[in-house]
Amino acid sequence: MKTKEGCLVLLIGSGLAFGSFAADEKDKGKGTPPPAAPQELAKLDVANSKEASIPGGATVVKGSWSVDAGAKKLFAAPVPLVDAWLEFGPEIREKGATITATGRAPGGDRLQSRFGVGLYGKNGFQLRLVPVRQEIELVRRGEVLVSRPFPHDPAEMQQIELSVRPERQHWIVSGRVWKDGGERPDQPLFEHKIFAVELLFPLAGRSVLFATPFSGEPVAFASAVVMPGPAK
C-alpha cells in the first residue's frame, strides 16, 4: 500500500521530469543563433567628407583628388593627366578580401576615361572598367591578365567589385560590375587562378581607387568599402 507521502513524492518527481522535457523541447525550438556579420576592414566615407578634402583614412599617391561636398562625390581631376591613385584603409597581408566601389568615368565616343579598384597596393590586383572598349580588365603590375566584355553607358554610375580568396597554393581572383541601383549579379564575370609562386611579391598593401581621366572630365567615386574574405 502506498502512503500519502509516497504519492506526493511520485507526483513531484513526475512534475520535475515533465518540466525538464518541456524545457528541452523549448530549447530545441530556439536553434543556433546566426553568426555575426563580418566587420568592414575599411570604408571611404565620401558623403560625410568636407568640401575640397580627402576622406578620412585615405592617402593620395598620384594625381589630384578632392571631395565635392554638394555632389557627395570624390573626384579624380583631369589635370594633371596621370594614372591617379588613392589608397585607403589598413594594409591587408596575405588574406582574402573584397572591395566594392561606386564610380563613373564620363566621356565621348573616342576620348573616354577609365577607372577601377584594387587590393594589396601596387603589387596587388586591379579591376579596371574601360568604356572605350566596353570591357573590364583584371590588371597586375601593368599587365592585363583577363579581359571580358561589359557593355555599359559611361554616363551612369557603376558598381565595381574585386574579390580575392586563397585556395591551397594559389589565389582565386574574381570580378563583378553592375549598374548602380540594379541587382548584383549572382555569378562573377570571371574567375582567375594565379599561383603564389607566380606573384614574385607577396600580396600585401592597402586598398585602392584609381582613374585615368582621358576625356578631360573628372572621374567620380561615390563610395568604397572593403570587407574581409571572398565575396558571397
CATH number of 47's domain: 2.60.120.200
Task: Check whether residue 51 and residue 155 sit in a common domain.
Answer: yes
Beta bridge partners of 167: 170
Q: Which helix (H) or strand (E) holds 126?
A: strand 125-130
The C-alpha atoms of residue 74 and residue 45 are separated, in whole angstroms, by 10
Structure confidence at residue 108 (pLDDT): 75
Are the C-beta atoms of residues 150 and 177 closer than 8 Å to each other?
yes
Are the C-beta atoms of residues 73 and 221 closer than 8 Å to each other?
yes
The C-alpha atoms of residue 75 and residue 87 are separated, in whole angstroms, by 14
DSSP β-ladder status, 97-104 and 219-228: antiparallel
What are the C-alpha distances in Å from 66 to residues 29, 123, 151?
A: 54, 25, 29
Task: Check whether residue 131 and residue 224 sit in a common domain.
Answer: yes
Name the domain count of the chain. 2
pTM for the full predicted model: 0.84
Task: Check whether residue 16 and residue 87 sit in a common domain.
Answer: no
Report phi then psi at 193, rounded to 5.
-95, 135
Task: Check whether residue 126 and residue 198 sit in a common domain.
Answer: yes
Of 128, 80, 120, 121, the residue nearest 103 (C-alpha): 128
Are the C-beta atoms of residues 230 and 100 closer than 8 Å to each other?
no
Are the C-beta atoms of residues 87 and 185 closer than 8 Å to each other?
no
Q: pLDDT tens digits, residue range 139-194?
A: 999 999 999 999 999 989 999 999 999 999 999 999 999 999 999 999 999 999 99
Task: Check whether residue 135 and residue 28 sit in a common domain.
Answer: no
Task: Check whether residue 177 and residue 208 sit in a common domain.
Answer: yes
Q: Supply the range of the domain harboring residue 112.
A: 42-228
Task: Check whether residue 19 and residue 120 sit in a common domain.
Answer: no
The C-alpha atoms of residue 60 and residue 216 are separated, in whole angstroms, by 20
- The residue count for the chain: 232
**How would you classify residue 228: left for phi > 0, otherwise alpha for psi between -120 and 50, otherwise beta?**
beta
Task: Check whether residue 58 and residue 102 sit in a common domain.
Answer: yes
The C-alpha atoms of residue 21 and residue 206 are separated, in whole angstroms, by 55
Cell output for 117: 579598384
Residues 6+ apart with CB under 8 A from 10: 2
Q: What is the DSSP letter of 111?
A: -
- How would you write the pLDDT of the chain (232 residues) with one tens digit per residue? 444 444 333 333 444 343 444 445 444 545 666 666 679 999 999 999 999 999 999 999 999 999 999 999 999 999 999 999 999 999 999 999 999 999 999 887 678 899 999 999 999 999 999 999 999 999 999 999 999 999 999 989 999 999 999 999 999 999 999 999 999 999 999 999 999 889 988 999 999 999 999 999 999 999 999 999 998 8
Residues 6+ apart with CB under 8 A from 29: none
